[in-house]
Structure 1
Amino acid sequence: MCTRYISPEQREIEAFWRIDRRSNRRKDWQNLLTVFPLSLASFIRRADEVDYARELVVGQWGMIPPWSKSNVPTTARGTRLSTVNARVEGMEKAPTYKNAWARGKRCIIPATSFDEPNWETGKNVWWRFRRADGAPWGLAGLWDTWTDKETGEVWDSYTMLMLNADGHPLMGRMHKPDPTLPPDQQDKRSAVPIEAHDFDRWLTCTVDEAKEMLKVPPLELFDAGPVEA
């Protein structure tokens, strides 16, 4: 699962995705390039009531469940909940994600690169994943809106979709292996890139069509290796 990535600068996002409008430049947004869980960062969604228009907004990385009492995601019992990643195979039934998925609240997460841990040496070595063609990633995500009942403040938040990558020649090497499970049942995970020709389709298509677009990226798409100290 991905827990950190690097976002392009705003001008790069606007130029690459051809976006001219923003909707919610938050006062507490610091335009951080390295994004961690619960950071505020940019994502792209379909603009309301405008066909094929892309909207650049700022939201929290870590989807806020509808029952949460604060912007920090929690279970119904108040226990901290990790919502920066959503397993594709379970999102249709997961309480946090199912409504956003069913209502077509899909987004694109711009990323210059993202990091994953590699344990092949017996210790954690962070690897960085860029696109081999030099373009930024447009990673598949879901977004939703949550309102603080005490203050009335409205929060946009998002999650990054993750697909099973067991057996993938690159992504299957990431994360600490579970010695109690066979290689084909490790539940290794990969982010899901949306290619440039599919950006608008991802944001506007039907749920069934969107599901067909969720595929583990081919090896040749990656420029990957250990993060230099």
Structure 2
Amino acid sequence: MCSHYKPVTHINQLRNIFGLGPLTTICKPDMWPGYEGLFIRPHPHADVGDEAVPDREAVSGHWGLIPHWSKDGKVRGTFNARSETIAEKPTFRDAWRKAQRCIIPAISVFEPDWRSGKAVAAEVSRADGEPMGIAGLWSAWRSPTGWVESYTMLTVNANDHSIFKLLHKPQDEKRMVVILNPDSYEAWLKGTPSDIAALIRQCPAEALELKSAIN
């Protein structure tokens, strides 16, 4: 699972690649669970017919989904969501049922490379150098002082993936985040369950690059 990533912080990349309007908030250059990051979702007023309203909006939220029924708003290991059980797990199922899907813009993700017998940070990015859009879910929790937005990344099994099978401890299940093709962003955000089923898959290894101190 992914617990560290580099977000996209270049405003022009966010606007041009992810179809966003004006931006005022940029997140930290390195993201860890509980940090405040950016996620992308359909703009709530995109269908009112005003050309000045963009189709999508970037929202600042906690990395680690806080379900709407949370009592204290604590983030407890919800920064990743297993796609196989997302429709059943209480933490994620309401956001899934309500189609609260989002895209997390990232330059790269980091995983521990254990091939030397100890954890060494390994960075995975797109081979073409372009930013990646990671499939996610978002939620809103009402705190005593107002609404708190949060998000999580979807993951799939990667035991047979030629890059991700090298990462994590040998005995652990290998998993990877769901990296969307740019031409599927709209389908992920607004598609029906049948539209998005084929999008929840491994990203081909040839489309990715692994940088690790272990050769």
**Same fold judged by TM-score > 0.5?**
yes
Confirm or deny that 1:176 pairs with 2:166: no
Name the stretch that deviates more: 169-178 or 56-65: 169-178
Counterpart of 1:14 in structure 2 is 15
Unaligned stretches of 5+ in structure 2? 48-53
Confirm or deny that 1:53 pairs with 2:49: no
Q: What does 1:53-92 align with in structure 2 at a 5 Å threshold?
A: 53-73=55-75, 81-92=76-87
Counterpart of 1:222 in structure 2 is 208
183, 189, 192: which one pairs with 1:206?
A: 192
What TM-score does the superposition give when structure 2 sets the normalisation length?
0.90
Q: Is the 8 A contact 1:44 1:57 kept in 2?
A: yes
Shift of 1:68: 2.0
Q: Is the 8 A contact 2:83 2:156 kept in 1?
A: yes
Letter in 2 for 1:69: K
What TM-score does the superposition give when structure 1 sets the normalisation length?
0.85
89, 100, 109: which one pairs with 2:95?
A: 100
Distance 1:227 1:100, change over 3 A: farther
Number of aligned positions between the proteins: 207
Letter in 2 for 1:195: N
Counterpart of 2:37 in structure 1 is 41
Shift of 1:83: 0.2
Give me the whole-angstrom Cα distance separating, in 2, the residues matched to 1:64 and 1:207.
23
Q: Is the 8 A contact 2:103 2:136 kept in 1?
A: yes
Distance 1:90 1:70, change over 3 A: same
Q: Is the 8 A contact 1:102 1:207 kept in 2?
A: no
Unaligned stretches of 5+ in structure 1? 74-80, 179-185
Shift of 1:209: 1.8
Identity of aligned residues (%): 35
Q: Is the 8 A contact 1:128 1:224 kept in 2?
A: yes
Shift of 1:71: 2.6
Shift of 1:21: 4.5
Distance 1:147 1:225, change over 3 A: same
Aligned CA RMSD, in angstroms, stands at: 1.8
Letter in 2 for 1:176: K
Counterpart of 1:144 in structure 2 is 139
Distance 1:108 1:221, change over 3 A: same
Confirm or deny that 1:133 pairs with 2:128: yes
Instruction: Give a deviation string over 1:146-189, Cα, whole Å, max 9, x none.
Output: 101x33x10110000010011111111111122xxxxxxx4210
Letter in 2 for 1:217: C
Shift of 1:30: 6.9
